[in-house]
Structure 1
């Protein structure tokens, strides 16, 4: 049984700085809430102050935002099936992640925001829920939270662990703090051998690190979803060819719109389906479209995109995967600007050829292997984006071949969820 790591001077300094900055953090929260009300709502949860009765003995998952939550859903369901009498708690840090968790899991799981990493907040959170198993998705390391789990003997796991070179360099600068935090982790199920190596380099116990694969490969696109995608395409777009750009960011939409304008000269009926990563930015994207003389239609209007509409804007949450399946060619954003890329597997599993930019450091291995499989194409700039999208739109057999390659690549790498379930089950039953 873990007996806890002693409080270190560096963690005391970290906590003192966090307390000092908390008024500023809360002020920023309310400032952001002026445009996005979700940030100023339920703020007491961030301090672990609850108006509900305590519910001890939960299996607790933490998924930062929408991307981590989407990846976690199959794992959450699998763990619920393995331990059906156990209450599931899912935390997030963003309003969009929170909304998606509520929408998908509904009453099958409890949900609150993750509290700030302050000793008293963490203590209240753990006393309120008393987790029997704690599972953090992907990357986040919170020193006080991790220490509290170790001190109380709560099995803590990092699942789908991902650590880019840039993140690893940042953690290495604080290795004494990071190593103390990671000493409280029983299991790190890393996505790749490179991720495992980086975790060990920043202080993880090598005996706690295993390579379990990427649970994002265990993506599901059931027949009903494909049928819905077909129905949506017929109702909203008719016979128009569709070029979709998903999870886009500031500075990227202008490049995509420029490429689309060039494509329109070759394909006059072409419709651009544009899905900003953060829907609250939709006003800025509309302004960008108007500046370029392009007409728009919002998904939330629930009206067809007639021939006069150039850009169909996806301003809703949770529908991107379905609209990928309703399109012909996909570009995955966060990659023409240095964001690090987003999930290329969602369009790949739908059988679409996948284009992405050069900035994919968060998905470096997936991007490399997707290219090697013949299912993905890297474009370096606006001109290459227009060139490759045009080639694919004009050649149905090439589109189909690349789409099949990508779909095969996804299916051949599945199984990480089941591996994670077995590893986590051994922690839950005390075998580790």
Structure 2
């Protein structure tokens, strides 16, 4: 009964969803106007891409989930050489990220958008692709999709599953809708025991703890080499290599806080507020590190121009990654480099001496610091990391990350760390050790999913 009411409400909301997709979201990101029919379960023939191979299906909603799925996709295709993979997304940026995996496995992967959670759209999805098995990354729980999979006898697993206390409380308010969906899943491979307990409390049945697949993601060697090449072009007027402070995957409102906290330092103002003696003081005062290059990488590409305007408003010298081909050689006076590119986060981490994890200064729940650790980049994390609570706590305990209270604390901590090479070197070693120690989740996840 609850699912019927949910479906009716979702159906009535379709005109609003259609308008939001084509006018609101597409205004900021025109790619939302592409493949629109797929969102209602209408798909072109896919056999030209993968032939008549039977399909396994994996859903990765956006960029982070798609990147995290890379080792799982590699392992799935290696273990099932007669199959192709259907890779679905909900965002254009996720689809663009997935295209890199398609290129890595020619003739083995077809991409599509997952339909909205309407009974008819879900039925058309399964009728068209006829997947033998489905894997959904992380937190996507859709009642009609789960019901349609069960009706067609398609085993459906939730993998790399995470559920914060905040999300669990929200789901608990609609338990009558969520519990049947969770109970229909063949298995849930949870990241941590805390995630597993919250899922069990909501009615999930078969839950196993497999760890976080993101630890198995290996940074691409060409991206690491690109980051190292950039570093040689980041020099001060006297030819010295500049320290690089990365603000990674920042969210709306965080860039202004960071720029306000860092502007004086970036402009060469010392701790006492005077620019006149900044150079002399930095040689004698360990807390006064040389002004860094701020590498600012917003989470969402549609905000690149907005963030560039914030930098300009503060009178800081800006360069944009998109204005350079290949390696970046910046003018010595550049204070902020805007990372307005896609698919280069590993290069950004590789060139950074220290990174602040975006989404953690304001209550967005943070982005994942695992990729930073895999690149050997020390990190700072703000007070809001509830989406990745266990990974963040483990990284801090391992010495790979430090907690900061707010933007001002982040600026002060960065200033001290960038003046202390020994402390940074130790954090780099701890980050790599932390990354190595947590690998193996992909193999455990596949064993759980195919145990039946």
TM-score, normalised with respect to structure 1: 0.93
- 1:314 equivalent in alignment to 2:336: no
Q: Within 2, Cα distance between the matches of 1:414 and 1:327?
A: 23
Q: Which moved more, 1:61-70 or 1:306-315?
A: 306-315
Query: What is the rounded CA distance, in whole Å, between the counterparts of 1:10 and 1:278 in structure 2?
Result: 35
Match of 1:58 in 2: 55
Q: Identify which range, 177-186 or 217-226, moves more after superposition.
A: 217-226
Distance in 2 between the 1:36 and 1:103 partners?
A: 20
Match of residue 176 from structure 2: 176
Contact preservation (8 Å) 2:122, 2:144: yes
Cα distance, 1:346–1:53 mapped onto 2, change above 3 Å:
closer
Q: What's the offset of the Cα at 1:270?
A: 1.8
Counterpart position of 2:167 = 167
Range moving further from structure 2, 34-43 or 358-367: 34-43
2:20: which partner in 1?
Answer: 28
Uncovered stretches (5+) of structure 1, i.e. residues with no partner: 1-8, 427-431
- Aligned residue in 2 for 1:252: 254
Q: Displacement of 1:229 after TM fit? A: 2.0
Aligned partners of 2:27 and 2:379: how far apart in 1?
Answer: 37
Corresponding residue number in structure 1 for 2:285 = none
- What does the per-residue CA deviation read over 1:301-321, in whole Å, with 9 as the maximum and x for residues that have no partner? 015221221110111111011
Q: How does 1:92-131 map to 2 (within 5 A)?
A: 92-106=89-103, 107=106, 108-131=108-131
- Paired residues, number: 417
Q: Which residue pairs with 2:30 in the alignment?
A: 37
Name the SS for the 1:304 alignment partner.
coil
**What aligned pairs does 1:72-83 form with structure 2 within 5 A after superposition?**
72-83=69-80
Q: Which moved more, 1:324-333 or 1:224-233?
A: 224-233
Q: Using the alignment, how far apart are the partners of 1:306 and 1:145 within structure 2?
A: 52
In the alignment, is residue 214 of structure 1 matched against residue 212 of structure 2?
Answer: yes
1:346 aligned to 2:371?
Answer: yes
Aligned-residue offset at 1:167: 0.8
Decide whether aligned partners of structure 1 residues 268 and 392 sit closer, same or farther in structure 2, where only a CA change above 3 A counts.
closer
- TM-score normalised per structure 2: 0.89
Q: Deviations over 1:322-371 (max 9, x none)?
A: 11111111111000010000011112222221101000000111111111
Of 412, 419, 428 in structure 2, the residue corresponding to residue 403 of structure 1 is 428
1:177 to partner: Cα distance: 1.1
**Does the alignment pair 1:292 with 2:298?**
no
- Structure 2: distance between partners of 1:131 and 1:358: 42
Q: Separation in 1 of the partners of 2:220 and 2:26?
A: 37
SS for the counterpart of 1:147 is helix
CA distance in 1, matches of 2:292, 2:303: 24
- Say whether 1:13 aligns with 2:5: yes
Indicate yes or no: 2:356 matched with 1:359.
Answer: no
Distance 1:223 1:321, change over 3 A: closer
Task: Note the alpha carbon deviations across 1:220-271, whole angstroms, 9 max, x for none.
Answer: 1355443332123224668221111100011100121123224333455521
For residues 93 and 296 of structure 2, what CA distance do their matches in structure 1 show? 18
**Quick check: 2:53–2:83 contact (8 Å CA) kept in 1?**
no
**Retained in 2: the 8 A contact 1:56–1:129?**
no
In 2, are the aligned partners of 1:62 and 1:137 still within 8 Å (CA)?
A: yes
Other-structure match for 2:137: 137
> Which consecutive residues of structure 2, in runs of 5 or more, have no partner in the other structure?
270-287
Equivalent residue, structure 2, for 1:6? none
After TM superposition, give the deviation of residue 61 of structure 1 in Å: 0.4
Alpha-carbon offset, residue 133 of structure 1: 0.8
